[in-house]
Amino acid sequence: MPRWVRPEVYPLMAAMTFVTTMCVFQLTRNVFMNPDVRFLRTRPPEVMPAVNSFFSDTK
């Protein structure tokens, strides 16, 4: 039975696994530790509060 993964591919797989792990780590870290990302129960979620208030305020 032939091998479906050649030995030449192992360094590429290792590099891609390392990069993917670093990306997942950074994204998880930003979601939980970044002060710009907050979940408040008292306020509805808004993507861009300044733009939303600009278009919704009737002056």
**pLDDT of 5 above 80:** yes
Predicted model pTM: 0.54
- Assess if residue 43 is contained within a domain: no
- Assess if residue 4 is contained within a domain: no
The domain in which residue 19 lies consists of: 9-37
- Assess if residue 26 is contained within a domain: yes
pLDDT in tens, 27-47: 999 888 877 766 778 877 777
Contact status, residue 30 vs residue 37, Cβ threshold 8 Å: yes
Domains of the chain: total:
1
Distance of CA 35 to the CA centre of its chain: 15
- Assess if residue 47 is contained within a domain: no
- Assess if residue 51 is contained within a domain: no
- Assess if residue 32 is contained within a domain: yes
Predicted local confidence at residue 21, as pLDDT: 98
**pLDDT of 22 above 80:** yes
